[in-house]
Amino acid sequence: MSMSYRWVIVGVGALMTCVALGAMFSLAIFQEPIATATGWSHVGIASAMTLNFIVMGIGGFVWGAASDRFGPRIVVLIGSVLLGLALVLASRAETLLQFQLTYGILVGLAASTFFAPMIAATTAWFDENRGLAVSLVSAGMGVAPMTISPFARWLITAYDWRPAMLIIGIGAWVLLVPAALLVRRRPAETVGDAAADSPTQNAPTPLSQVFRSPQFIVLGLTFFACCAAHSGPIFHMVNYATICGVAPMAAVSIYSVEGLAGLGGRLFYGALSDRIGVKPVLVGGLLVQALALASYLFVSQLGEFYALAVIFGSAYGGVMPLYAVLAREYFGPRIIGTVFGAATMLSSIGMAFGPLIGGWIFDTFANYSWLFIGSAMVGLGAAAIALAFPALPREANRPVLGASPT
């Protein structure tokens, strides 16, 4: 199979992450219409998102391991069918419990089938420009707030929430099932060639040893702290802007600006990591994220929110794909799905903490100051942990940016 097919893998992966994560995060758009139509509590509806993160974390590990053993195509095909089914069932839910089980558990389980397996598949196809390729797949997450969320809002306005969710579920089947059939593993002979060049692939390493290794511990803790730092501010940003006096519709647009900036950040940070190395780019991005979080204490005008959203969105969006590149470099292609799936599980736990802690802080202090202070401190902690990454084997002979060859 031609190596040019690797760009098909990138395109398919970007589509899948956009549709799957966009469908999951569109709950924020559905929340008020569902509450108005059904009388269910906002807390009860929002708890489905907490279930999403928990289930997605566990599912990411399970599906990542399954993709290593059975290949990514069968995993994403199952996820494509399950995602559409989950949304269709959620649109028919008659009780809050039914909605929580279908949207909170099934959607989270389905969404977890795409990210780790497709990231793992992409890293296997690329020996060069790996950071850029992984960033392009992850870019689907940045596109989602600009596509799925507005589409969901339009459908709700036109048809009400149940038909809207039903249509999105059917659309997931239409888009994702054919896309899943395009997923291929890298040809065995080229995988073998690449593995032969990697010292980590001379002999299989037991997973128990992998998960106790300093590389995985640093990877998992950094990923956890990174997501714990930004999840609360992202979730509560619209409400914070409204409290500062920004009009509600304008406040919602801040979230879209963050998504657009995250798209650009993924491309910029990914390309830069291919040039100067993953570790310095990751540490730098985490520092920018922490400083941006602290800066939210001093903004109040819409223009200030937009400017900071560009910096913050590009930073947290840009560093996210780099964890997959690190996992691939440290542990090789054979167990990348399992390793990255486990790291994703830890990041999802971090994501689950942020919204809950942010809500408690607001209920307790009637403002979000301590959320941004605490998030900035956690973000600095993530950067400090990332400094403990040992040098990557491929970076030992990497040319310095701007240096001339000898």
153 and 285, same domain (yes or no): no
Residue 293 structure tokens:
């979080």
On whether residue 397 sits in a domain, the answer given is no
Alpha-carbon gap, residue 345 to 341, rounded angstroms: 6
167 and 280, same domain (yes or no): no
Alpha-carbon gap, residue 203 to 197, rounded angstroms: 13
11-15, 38-42, 178-182 — which is least confidently predicted? 38-42
17 and 165, same domain (yes or no): yes
Q: What is the mean pLDDT of residues 125-149?
A: 77
pLDDT value of position 394 = 55
On whether residue 241 sits in a domain, the answer given is yes
**Structural domain boundaries enclosing 363:** 206-388
Residue 379 structure tokens:
């973000």
Residue 358 · residue 232 · CB < 8 Å? yes
Of 122, 105, 3, give the one whose Cα is nearest residue 57: 105
Helix (H) or strand (E) holding 23: helix 6-25
Return the higher-pLDDT residue of 359 and 312. Answer: 312
pTM for this one?
0.74
pLDDT value of position 400 = 38
The predicted-structure confidence for 378-387, as pLDDT tens digits, reads as follows 999 999 999 9
On whether residue 396 sits in a domain, the answer given is no
pLDDT value of position 188 = 64
Instruction: Write the Ramachandran bin of 17: left for phi over 0, alpha for psi from -120 to 50, otherwise beta.
Output: alpha
Integer Rg of the chain from CA: 21
Q: What is the mean pLDDT of residues 46-50?
A: 79
| CATH code: domain of residue 61 | 1.20.1250.20
Q: What is the DSSP letter of 213?
A: S
Q: Please, which pLDDT band fits residue 393 given cuts at 50, 70 and 90?
A: low
How distant, in Å, are the alpha carbons of 211, 225, 349, 376 from that of 228?
A: 21, 5, 8, 10
pLDDT value of position 222 = 95
144 and 216, same domain (yes or no): no
Helix (H, G, I), strand (E, B) or coil at 92: coil
Q: What is the DSSP letter of 2?
A: -
Of 54, 52, 90, give the one whose Cα is nearest residue 172: 90
Alpha-carbon gap, residue 140 to 103, rounded angstroms: 21
4 and 88, same domain (yes or no): yes
Of 123, 336, 347, give the one whose Cα is nearest residue 227: 347
Q: What is the mean pLDDT of residues 230-255?
A: 81
Alpha-carbon gap, residue 42 to 225, rounded angstroms: 28
Q: What is the DSSP letter of 127?
A: S
How crowded is the C-beta side of 279, counted as CA atoms within 13 Å? 19
150 and 52, same domain (yes or no): yes
25-29, 32-36, 367-371, 386-390 — which is least confidently predicted? 25-29
Residue 292 has pLDDT above 50, yes or no: yes
pLDDT value of position 396 = 46
First to last CA, the chain: 36
On whether residue 288 sits in a domain, the answer given is yes
Helix (H) or strand (E) holding 46: helix 42-70
Look at the chain and report how many structural domains it folds into.
2
335 and 226, same domain (yes or no): yes
Residue 249 has pLDDT above 80, yes or no: no
Spell out the residues 6+ positions from residue 351 whose beta carbon is closer than 8 angstroms to its own. 53, 227, 228, 231
pLDDT value of position 2 = 61
Alpha-carbon gap, residue 221 to 24, rounded angstroms: 25
Q: Please, which pLDDT band fits residue 86 given cuts at 50, 70 and 90?
A: very high
Q: What is the mean pLDDT of residues 348-361?
A: 80
Q: Residue 116: what residue type?
A: A
16-20, 350-354, 398-402 — which is least confidently predicted? 398-402
On whether residue 194 sits in a domain, the answer given is no
pLDDT value of position 6 = 86
Q: Residue 49: what residue type?
A: M
Alpha-carbon gap, residue 174 to 154, rounded angstroms: 19
Alpha-carbon gap, residue 286 to 10, rounded angstroms: 25
pLDDT value of position 137 = 83
The predicted-structure confidence for 95-128, as pLDDT tens digits, reads as follows 999 999 999 899 989 988 988 788 888 888 887 7
Return the higher-pLDDT residue of 195 and 401. Answer: 195
Average pLDDT over the chain, rounded to an integer:
83
Residues, the chain, total? 406
178 and 254, same domain (yes or no): no
Residue 203 has pLDDT above 70, yes or no: no
Q: What is the mean pLDDT of residues 306-312?
A: 93
pLDDT value of position 403 = 41
pLDDT value of position 1 = 52
Q: Is 342 exposed, middle or buried (0-12, 13-18, 19+ CB in 10 A)?
A: buried
DSSP string, 220-282: HHHHHHHHHHHHHHHHHHHHHHHHTT--HHHHHHHHHHHHHHHHHHHHHHHHHHHHH-HHHHH
What's the CA angle centered on 316, arms 177 and 263, to 5 degrees?
50
On whether residue 405 sits in a domain, the answer given is no
Residue 199 has pLDDT above 60, yes or no: no
103 and 134, same domain (yes or no): yes
On whether residue 372 sits in a domain, the answer given is yes
169 and 297, same domain (yes or no): no
On whether residue 199 sits in a domain, the answer given is no
The predicted-structure confidence for 31-44, as pLDDT tens digits, reads as follows 778 888 998 886 78
Residue 363 has pLDDT above 50, yes or no: yes
41 and 163, same domain (yes or no): yes
71 and 135, same domain (yes or no): yes
Alpha-carbon gap, residue 96 to 241, rounded angstroms: 30
User: Could you tell me what percent of the chain has a pLDDT over 90?
Assistant: 33
Residue 132 has pLDDT above 70, yes or no: yes
Please identify, among 152, 185, 218, the residue that sits at the C-terminal boundary of a domain.
185
How crowded is the C-beta side of 321, counted as CA atoms within 13 Å? 39
Alpha-carbon gap, residue 49 to 100, rounded angstroms: 9
